[in-house]
Amino acid sequence: MKAVARPTKYMLCILLSLVLSRAVVVAFTLSSSSSFTRPLTNNLLAISGPSRDTFLRSAPEAGDETVDPELAKVMYTLGIELGMSLGDISVLANNAEERTHVVRGIVDVCTGRLDMAGCEAMLKAHGEQMKQVIRERATQAQKELQLLGEKMLDEMASQPDAIKLASGVVVQIIETESDTSVGSGLSPSATSSVEADYHGTFADGTVFDSSLGKEGDSPKFALAGVIEGWRDGFQELIEGQVAMLGIPSQLAYGPQGTPDGAIPPNATLFFKVKLVKVLTAGVSKSGLVGADGKALTSAGGSSALLGADGKPL
């Protein structure tokens, strides 16, 4: 499982480095590139000048005859694309008033209302305070997510149809494929390769990775190369089954999180998965093993090997 590149509100380490980098201020002023998807000079009054009401009144109204309705939609869509590249800032700016000031700062830089000298002056005057606020809010948000995840994992384990493995992973079967040609009863071993779909969320419902809605076949991967929680959980499934996997942080990305910040430290992960197919039998210390983890046997004294379903590989 690879964390998706789309920004989430927990990608605070990356956002912090971007916000504090003067190089990004230069790039942002000169470029309008997006990952998804200037007449005033050194006017420091642009930061504190117009009131919030004045700023909001300056936005085009739906009935403003000077704005072409179709063009207004195009410009709004441009704003959406730029906003998607920034991601969710609700953790950093957690009320409407704060978000208004964030938007004003972005607009002033992107439209040239505030030049480089003005940007540098504001960073020099308020940069340390900004860093402190970001650190405090990032730490608080991560702690709240950690506690919520631990609580949800305990609640999931208490469900009558859920099982908690010795490792701490919780497995809850949702659906078993009725088509016997698909639901063959095969389960993967720890060294199998599988084809599976997945949809991963944090405890608060934020989606950080998903294979759903993508073109082409379901992802294929070796269980030996994924997080330990996935490896344990998938071995409890048979082909065609859909299940929820609750994975404690120590069996996912632990206290470090992911390098890109997409998954924060100590985050419990929740996946809805479907085991589409067991692709390879895998290899154990005792040699070749079947999809059920048991040693394979030769067929009729020949060198052919049988899988866990009794059929030649």
pLDDT at 88: 80
* pTM strictly above 0.85: no
Q: Report, as residue numbers or ranges, the catalytic residues.
A: 198, 208-209, 227, 253, 271
165 and 99 assigned to the same domain:
no
280 and 185 assigned to the same domain:
yes
**Comparing 93 with 42, which gets the higher pLDDT?**
93
**Comparing 21 with 28, which gets the higher pLDDT?**
21
In a domain? residue 298: no
In a domain? residue 155: no
111 and 177 assigned to the same domain:
no
In a domain? residue 177: yes
20 and 120 assigned to the same domain:
yes
Sorting pLDDT into bands at 50, 70 and 90, what band is 296?
Answer: low
In a domain? residue 302: no
Per-residue tokens: 251:
């069996």
Q: What is the end-to-end Cα distance of the chain in Å, rounded?
A: 27
pLDDT at 312: 54
206 and 272 assigned to the same domain:
yes
Does the pLDDT value for residue 11 go beyond 50? Answer: yes
**Full domain range(s) for residue 220:** 161-288
In a domain? residue 148: no
Locate tokens 């380490």: which residue? 13
The CATH number linked to 219 is: 3.10.50.40
168 and 134 assigned to the same domain:
no
204 and 118 assigned to the same domain:
no
Per-residue tokens: 193:
């390769």
pLDDT at 86: 84
Measured distance CA(57)–CA(111) in Å, rounded: 18
- Confirm if 307 and 313 have CB atoms less than 8 A apart: yes
Last residue of a domain, which of 140, 172, 197? 140
Sign of CA dihedral 262, 77, 55, 62: negative
135 and 177 assigned to the same domain:
no
284 and 171 assigned to the same domain:
yes
- Confirm if 289 and 308 have CB atoms less than 8 A apart: no
Domains identified in the chain, total number: 2
pLDDT at 42: 32
Q: CB-based contacts of 136: which residues, under 8 Å, 6+ apart?
A: none
Mean pLDDT of 139-153: 95
Sorting pLDDT into bands at 50, 70 and 90, what band is 147?
Answer: very high
In a domain? residue 110: yes
C-alpha atoms less than 13 angstroms from C-alpha of 192 in its C-beta half-sphere? 32
Best-predicted range by mean pLDDT among 38-52, 92-106, 282-296?
Answer: 92-106
In a domain? residue 92: yes
DSSP the chain: ----SS--TT-HHHHHHHHH-HHHHHHHHH----S------S-THHHHSS-HHHHHHHSPPTT-TTS-HHHHHHHHHHHHHHHHHH---TTTS-SHHHHHHHHHHHHHHHTTSS-HHHHHHHHHHHHHHHHHHHHHHHHHHHHHHHHHHHHHHHHHHTSTTEEE-TTS-EEEEEE----TTT-------TT-EEEEEEEEE-TT--EEEE-TT-SSSPPEEEGGGS-HHHHHHHTT--TT-EEEEEE-GGGTTGGG--TTSSS-TT--EEEEEEEEEE----EETTEEB-TTSSBP-BSTTSS-BB-TTSSB-
Q: What percent of the chain has pLDDT over 90?
A: 54
When mean pLDDT is compared across 69-78, 245-254, 277-286, the lowest value belongs to 277-286
pLDDT at 245: 98
pLDDT tens for each residue of 155-182: 999 999 999 999 999 999 998 876 544 4
In a domain? residue 146: no
52 and 107 assigned to the same domain:
yes
